[in-house]
C-alpha cells in the first residue's frame, strides 16, 4: 500500500497541472448524477470537480471557466484527476481489491470499503467521505487488521486465552492520527479483555 | 465504430490554400456559398478541417468546453424523458456533437438520418481527435 498523497500532478497538452486528489464523497456525488450511460458525466459536474481540485495553472482554470478552450483539454484534466485519485482503476484491479476484502458482501469497492472501515470502528461515515480513494484503501488495510484482531480476541476471551496486540506501521501523519485514536480505543478493549481473561485463566495466543 | 481510412485525406486548411481547396470541394458538389464561407470559418474558429468520406465531403471545427456543457445539459434533460435509454442517449450525444461541429453540410438531429451512419460515427471520432481529446499522431497534411 503506497503512501497517502493529497496532491497530484500531471501534464495535459502543454499544461503542467497540480491538483488535490478527489474525495470519496465527491466521486460518489458525481457518479450519482451521471447519465444512464456510464461514460456520460454531465460536463458541468466535471467542471465543478475540475475547478474544485485543480490548483495550477491559473491560466488553464480561467480558460475552462470561459468555456472557449477545446473540450479535450478539460476532459483529460478531469480523467487525470479521477485516475490519479484512484477512481479509474481497471476492473481487474477492482476485483483484486474486492478479493482482499474477505467475508464481505460485494457491492462496489467504495461501499465495501466503507462498510469495512465502519465495522472496524476506525472512522464514521462522515469522516470516510473526506478521504481520497487511496486513503480509503489505506484505511481498509487497517480495518482488516483491526477486525482480525477483534475476532481473534473474542475467540481468545471466550476460551480464556490472552488477547492479541494490535500493531501496524506508521505510514504518515494521517495514519498516525488513526493509530492514536486506536491506541486509546484499544486500551479500553484491552482492559475489558484482560479482565475477562483473568477471570477465565488459561493459555492465550499472541500475534505480533 | 465503422472503420474508414479517411484520415490520410483529411486536410488542415491555411488561408492561402482556400482557392485550391475551393476547387477540390467544387468537384464534390459543395455549393459556392459554402466555399465562399471558408475564410469566415477560419476567422471565426481558428482552425477547421475537411474530411472526405467516400463520395461525401464534410467541413468541421473543434468543439469547445462551453459547447460540450450545452450538449450534456440537453442530454441531461433528454435522459429524464420517457424515451431515454443508453442507446438513444448515445445517438443524441452523437447528433448534438455533429450539429455543433459540422460546418458543412448542416447536420442536425432532425436530418441526421439522411447521412450514412458510418460517416457520422467516423466524423465524431475525427472531431474528438481534433478537439484534443485523443492523443494521436497527427496525420493531416499541412500546406
Structure confidence by residue, pLDDT tens digits, A106-129: 456 777 788 888 888 788 888 888
pLDDT over threshold 60, residue B17: yes
Q: Indicate whether B104 belongs to any domain.
A: yes
Q: Which residue has the higher pLDDT, A9 or A29?
A: A9
pLDDT of residue A74: 93
Structure confidence by residue, pLDDT tens digits, B85-142: 777 888 888 899 999 999 989 888 888 888 888 888 888 888 888 888 875 544 444 3
What's the mean pLDDT when you consider all of chain B?
A: 79
Q: Indicate whether B11 belongs to any domain.
A: yes
Number of residues in chain B: 143
Structure confidence by residue, pLDDT tens digits, A42-89: 888 889 989 999 998 999 999 999 998 999 899 889 888 888 887 765
Question: By the 8 A CB rule, do A24 and A131 touch?
Answer: yes
Strand stretches in B17-81, DSSP E:
48-53, 56-61
Q: Indicate whether B135 belongs to any domain.
A: no
Residues on chain B touching A69 (C-beta within 8 angstroms): 64-65
The answer to whether A72 contacts B85, with C-beta atoms less than 8 Å apart, is: no
pLDDT over threshold 60, residue B69: yes
Per DSSP, helices labelled H in A87-172 are 91-100, 109-120, 125-129, 133-158
Q: Indicate whether B141 belongs to any domain.
A: no
Q: Indicate whether B114 belongs to any domain.
A: yes
**Distances in whole angstroms, Cα of residue B139 to Cα of each of B11, B40, B52, B134:** 9, 25, 14, 13
**Distances in whole angstroms, Cα of residue A59 to Cα of each of A19, A26, A143, B66, B133:** 14, 24, 42, 16, 19
- Predicted ipTM beyond 0.90: no
pLDDT of residue A99: 57
Q: Which residue has the higher pLDDT, A196 or B85?
A: B85
Closest Cα in chain A, distance from residue B29 (Å) = 30
Residues on chain A touching B73 (C-beta within 8 angstroms): 42-44
pLDDT over threshold 80, residue B35: yes
Residues on chain B touching A76 (C-beta within 8 angstroms): 132-133, 135
Q: Which residue has the higher pLDDT, B56 or A200?
A: B56
Question: By the 8 A CB rule, do A161 and A202 touch?
Answer: yes
**A46 to chain B: nearest residue by CA?**
B69
What's the mean pLDDT when you consider all of chain A?
A: 72
The answer to whether B69 contacts A37, with C-beta atoms less than 8 Å apart, is: no
pLDDT of residue A118: 83
Domain count, chain B: 1
Q: Indicate whether B138 belongs to any domain.
A: no
Q: Which three cell numbers stand for residue A178?
A: 488513526
What percent of chain A clears pLDDT 70, i.e. is strictly above it? 61
Q: Which three cell numbers stand for residue A110?
A: 467504495
Q: Could you give the strand order of the β-sheet that contains B56-61, starting from the edge strand earlier in sequence?
A: B11-12, B48-53, B56-61, B102-104
Q: Indicate whether B1 belongs to any domain.
A: no
Of A37, A44, A76, the CB nearest to B69: A44
Q: Report chain B residues touching chain A, CB-CB < 8 A.
A: 62-69, 71-73, 75-76, 79, 84-86, 89-90, 93, 128, 131-135
pLDDT over threshold 70, residue B41: yes
Closest Cα in chain A, distance from residue B54 (Å) = 27
Q: Sorting pLDDT into bands at 50, 70 and 90, what band is B5?
A: very low
pLDDT of residue A54: 92
Q: Provide CB contacts within 8 A for A113, sequence distance 6+.
A: A101, A136, A137, A139, A140
CA distance A62 to A58: 6
Q: What is the pTM of this model?
A: 0.62
pLDDT over threshold 80, residue B1: no
Structural domain harbouring B59: 7-130
Q: Indicate whether B136 belongs to any domain.
A: no
Amino acid at each position: 500500500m503506497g503512501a497517502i498523497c493529497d496532491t497530484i500532478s500531471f501534464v495535459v497538452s502543454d499544461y503542467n497541472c497540480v491538483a488535490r486528489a478527489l474525495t470519496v464523497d465527491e466521486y460518489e456525488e458525481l457518479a450519482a448524477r451521471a447519465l444512464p450511460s456510464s461514460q456520460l458525466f454531465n460536463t458541468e459536474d466535471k467542471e465543478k470537480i475540475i475547478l474544485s481540485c485543480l490548483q495550477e495553472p491559473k491560466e488553464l482554470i480561467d480558460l475552462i471557466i470561459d468555456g472557449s478552450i477545446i473540450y479535450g483539454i478539460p476532459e483529460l484534466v478531469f480523467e487525470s484527476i479521477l485516475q490519479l485519485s484512484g477512481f479509474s482503476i481497471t476492473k481487474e484491479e477492482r476485483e483484486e481489491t474486492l478479493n482482499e476484502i474477505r467475508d464481505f458482501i460485494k457491492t462496489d469497492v467504495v461501499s465495501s470499503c466503507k462498510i469495512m472501515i465502519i465495522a472496524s470502528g476506525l472512522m464514521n461515515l462522515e469522516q470516510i467521505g473526506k478521504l481520497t480513494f487511496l486513503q480509503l484503501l489505506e484505511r481498509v488495510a487497517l480495518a482488516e487488521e483491526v477486525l482480525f484482531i477483534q475476532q481473534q480476541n473474542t475467540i481468545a476471551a471466550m476460551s480464556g486465552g490472552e488477547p492479541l496486540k494490535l500493531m501496524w506501521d506508521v505510514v504518515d501523519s494521517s495514519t498516525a492520527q488513526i493509530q492514536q485514536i486506536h491506541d486509546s480505543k484499544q486500551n479500553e478493549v484491552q482492559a475489558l479483555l484482560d479482565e475477562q481473561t483473568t477471570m477465565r485463566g488459561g493459555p492465550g495466543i499472541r500475534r505480533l | 465504430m465503422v472503420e474508414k481510412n479517411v484520415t490520410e485525406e483529411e486536410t488542415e486548411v491555411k488561408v492561402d490554400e482556400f482557392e485550391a481547396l475551393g476547387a477540390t470541394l467544387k468537384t464534390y458538389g459543395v455549393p459556392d456559398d459554402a466555399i465562399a464561407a471558408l475564410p469566415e470559418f477560419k476567422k471565426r474558429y481558428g482552425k477547421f478541417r475537411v474530411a472526405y468520406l467516400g463520395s461525401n465531403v464534410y467541413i468541421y471545427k473543434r468543439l469547445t468546453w462551453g459547447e460540450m456543457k450545452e450538449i450534456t445539459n440537453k442530454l441531461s434533460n433528454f435522459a429524464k424523458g420517457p424515451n431515454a435509454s443508453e442507446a438513444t442517449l448515445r445517438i443524441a450525444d452523437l447528433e448534438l456533437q455533429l450539429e455543433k461541429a459540422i460546418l458543412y453540410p448542416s447536420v442536425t438531429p432532425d436530418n441526421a438520418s439522411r447521412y450514412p451512419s458510418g460517416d457520422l460515427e467516423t466524423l465524431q471520432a475525427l472531431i474528438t481527435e481534433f478537439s484534443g481529446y485523443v492523443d494521436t499522431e497527427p496525420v493531416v497534411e499541412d500546406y
